[in-house]
Amino acid sequence: MFYNLYNNLRASGFDKNKSLELSYMLFYDANEDWHKGMSFGDLTRSLYTAYMTSYTSTYNEKNLLNAMSDVGVSPEVQYKIYSKAGFVSRLKVVYYDYDGNFHEEFTPQVPVGQTAWVNVPMYASESVSISAQIDYYGFKDYHLL
């Protein structure tokens, strides 16, 4: 797993030394074998920042996603939905992943007065569409993002 992580980081555009450093820190910290005053979140922030800027940088998005997956970092954003309008609500998320595959996901239906969370994958985030769906004689879409 360590070498898989290293190879993914190298392929994504990190130089040899940075790839070794991040691989060592991320892999051993993720397995709770190595701690030097840095949290796992601090260490993975470098990867996430590189991922978020991969559209305009030299980093390869697919390899960065593989590297993040290796250490259990989920490239997702959480959205919170609170149903207060008097109708059952849910979120609909439509996006394309980095392989060009179309995805349409729905949160569980949220009863009135309840709160729910939805994880939105950040793959090809430029094409993500999020809609609130309110059950008013059938679900109707209200575009949010």
pLDDT value at position 34? 44
Average pLDDT of every residue of the chain? 68
| 10 and 37 both lie in a single domain | yes
Of 98 and 123, the one with more pLDDT: 98
Phi, psi of 18 (to 5 degrees): -65, -40
For 144, phi and psi rounded to 5 degrees? -110, -40
The domain in which residue 64 lies consists of: 2-70
Alpha carbons 72 and 66: distance in angstroms, whole number:
10
| CA distance readout (Å), 67 to 2, 5, 51, 76 | 10, 5, 10, 14
pTM of the model: 0.43
DSSP tag of 101: -
Residue 35 has what pLDDT? 46
Q: What is the mean pLDDT of residues 8-21?
A: 81
Tell me, yes or no, whether 62 and 84 share the same domain: no
Domain C-terminal end among 40, 70, 100? 70
pLDDT digits (tens, 9 = 90+) for 34-90: 445 555 566 566 666 666 665 555 666 667 777 777 766 666 666 666 666 556 677
Picking from 48, 70, 92, the residue at the C-terminal end of a domain is: 70
Same domain, 54 and 89: no
* DSSP-derived secondary structure for 49-91: HHHHTTTTSS--HHHHHHHHHHTT---EEEEEEE--SSS-EEE
Residue 122 and residue 65 in one domain = no
- Listed range (13-17, 67-71, 86-90, 99-103) with the worst mean pLDDT: 86-90
Q: Are residues 64 and 100 in the same domain?
A: no
Q: Mean pLDDT, to the nearest integer, of 7-23?
A: 81
Closest by alpha carbon to 26, among 7, 14, 41, 13?
41
Same domain, 88 and 66: no
Percent of the chain with pLDDT over 70: 40
Domain final position from 21, 42, 70: 70
110 and 135 in a common domain: yes
Same domain flag for 80 and 66? no
Same domain, 60 and 83: no
Say how many domains are in the chain: 2
Confidence of residue 140 (pLDDT cuts 50, 70, 90): low
